[in-house]
Amino acid sequence: MASALAVDVAVLGGGPAGLAAAAAAAAHGCAVALFDEGPAPGGRLVGQLHRARDGRWRVGRDEAERLRDRAAGAGATLVTGVSAWALAPGWEVYLRGDGDAPRRCRARALVVATGAGELAAPLPGWTLPGAITPGAAQVLVNVHGLLPGRRALIAGADPLGLEAAQLLEVVGAAVLGIHPVAGPDGAAEPPADALRRLVATVGRAAPSPLLRAGGRLVRRRAVARAAVPLLPRTVAGVPLRLREAVVALRGDGRVEEAELAAVGADGRLGARRRTVAADLVCVGGGLRPLVELLAGCGCELVELPGLGGTVPLHGPDQQTTAPGAFVAGGVTGVEGAAVCAAQGTVAGLAAALAAGAPQAARRELAAARAEVARQRATAPVRFHPGLERARARQRTLWEARCAS
């Protein structure tokens, strides 16, 4: 491959958003190159595996393959094993990879679809080999076919943790429980709040009928507090233990046990401790958009906790404040793969138009935008409660920016 490429549209990130963007732009005649760090495109989607409320498994690998084929079939060039380390407006993408990987890519328009990364939930012992993120469990088990341990504990009672519990359980690991993580100040989330948060995020899709049914009721704090003792003992066969927090991990050179403490109604930890033997602990602190490349090239960013952190300010066509740079997927806020892909289509069309594609692309924009809204409305999981509010706030900020 040439060391310097020149294309119409460069797409950074080969997850669902990037693949959809590449397909949309290429379908309208643009020369498209997509760059991804991993050995194969698909991003976090490839490892995803969860059971929907109808009991059927959603296999990320299959969906990723469909998206990949569509992008390649439309004529996009997919380059893997290469990292983008800087962007210069104009646009110039600076790349680094092994062997004859390209070093530069000039593009008339850019779609940045770098996704979201996992946040740490530090606790003593979290650096021991065997302590991994829930996302790592997805990748190791479902992509690489490796079960890193046989006795697993989930530290972090959130959508990712629940999915990790499911995927480990299905391949025969003993998943001992889903627990919250104690914070550095020696307290954990009050169980009633943890319940409300769980319901607000996974309630719609919860494999537990009780969580689904109780959803609306539990949103009221008083009801949540009363409901805590009635919590389902298990979620998809895995004990849900919101009243017991993980306070430390221990082992000789690797994770061997986890120390747990009872959590009072106010979140304070009890003095009593319990230790369980575990050789695999998924420690999760949520996801945050990976905006570093955008920050480095002058795109305006805005902080919105409901979207997972700092996101690029963007408009309805996924355009940023940097001319010719569009964004899609997890980098705009943490949402599920279907929403990411829908955003990717919008961004790809808009980028294609910015790069000079025929106006036929414009006719598809409205439908593509509507698809984003539709996917969002029917999304089974919200990664952050308050997502809709945050999206609305983002829109307001964008409109204010345009007006100024």
Partner 1 sequence: MAAADVIVIGGGIGGCALAYHLCGRGRSAIVLERRGVGDAGSGRNAGGVRQQARHPAELPLAMAAIERWPGLERELGAPTEYVQRGNLVLAQSEASVRRLEQRLAWQAPFDLDSELIDGAQLRRLLPFAGPRARAALHCASDGHANPLLTTAAFAAAARRRGARIETGAEVRALEQTAAGWRAVTDRGRYDGEVVVNVAGAGAAALGALVDRSLPIVGARTQTLVTERAAPLFDQFVQDWDAKLFARQTVSGNVIFGDLTEDYLLAGRQVRPADAVRAARAALDALPALAELQVIRAWGGTLDVSLDRMPLIGPLDGLPGHFVSAGSSGHGFALAPVVGELLADWIVAGRRSPLLAPFDPARFSSTGTVDNNAEQAA
Partner 2 sequence: MSGPERIARHPVLGEVGGAGAPVAFSFDGRALSGRAGEPVGVALLAAGIRALRRSRGGEPRGIHCAIGQCMECRVEIDGLGVRRACLTPLRDGMVVRTHRDPGAADG
Toward partner 2, which CB reaches closer, 136 or 302?
136
Binding span for partner 1 by CB under 8 A among 79-87, 202-210, 351-359, 364-372:
79-87
3-state secondary structure (DSSP) of residue 347? helix
Nearest distance, CB of residue 55 and partner 2, angstroms: 12
For the four alpha carbons of 210, 216, 217 and 218, in that order, the dihedral sign comes to positive
Nearest distance, CB of residue 112 and partner 2, angstroms: 16
Binding span for partner 1 by CB under 8 A among 5-13, 14-22, 84-92, 135-143:
84-92
**CA pair distance 27, 50, nearest whole angstrom:** 31
> Which partner, partner 1, partner 2, none, binds residue 14 by CB below 5 to 8 Å per kind?
none
> Which partner, partner 2, partner 1, none, binds residue 254 by CB below 5 to 8 Å per kind?
partner 2
* Token duo for residue 176: 């001992």
Toward partner 2, which CB reaches closer, 117 or 215?
117
| Phi (first) and psi of residue 225, to 5 degrees | -60, -40
Binding pattern to partner 1, positions 279-308, x when CB under 8 A? -----------------xxx----------
Strand 234-235 with 238-239, pairing = antiparallel
Nearest distance, CB of residue 277 and partner 1, angstroms: 35
In terms of Cα–Cα distance, which of 183, 210, 184 is closest to 195? 210
Tokens 């403490």 locate to: 261
CB 220 within 8 A of CB 403: no
Toward partner 1, which CB reaches closer, 111 or 299?
299
Tokens 């519990």 locate to: 165
3-state secondary structure (DSSP) of residue 103? coil
Region 7-66 residues binding partner 2, contact defined as CB under 8 A: 37-39, 44, 49, 57, 59, 61
Binding pattern to partner 2, positions 211-250, x when CB under 8 A? ----------------------------------------
**CA pair distance 359, 346, nearest whole angstrom:** 14
> Which partner, partner 1, partner 2, none, binds residue 5 by CB below 5 to 8 Å per kind?
none
Nearest distance, CB of residue 257 and partner 1, angstroms: 32
By CB under 8 A, tell whether 148 contacts partner 2.
Answer: yes
3-state secondary structure (DSSP) of residue 95? strand
Looking at residue 321, its amino acid is T
303, burial (CB in 10 Å: exposed 0-12, middle 13-18, buried 19+):
exposed
Region 86-105 residues binding partner 1, contact defined as CB under 8 A: 86-88, 92, 94
CA dihedral 30, 31, 36, 39 (to 10 degrees): 120
- DSSP result, 22-43: HHHHHHTT--EEEE-SSSSS-G
The footprint of partner 2 (CB under 8 A) covers 37-39, 44, 49, 57, 59, 61, 81, 117-118, 127-133, 135-136, 139-151, 170-171, 253-254, 256, 277, 279, 290
Question: Residue numbers of the site for partner 1 (CB under 8 A)?
Answer: 85-88, 92, 94, 296-298
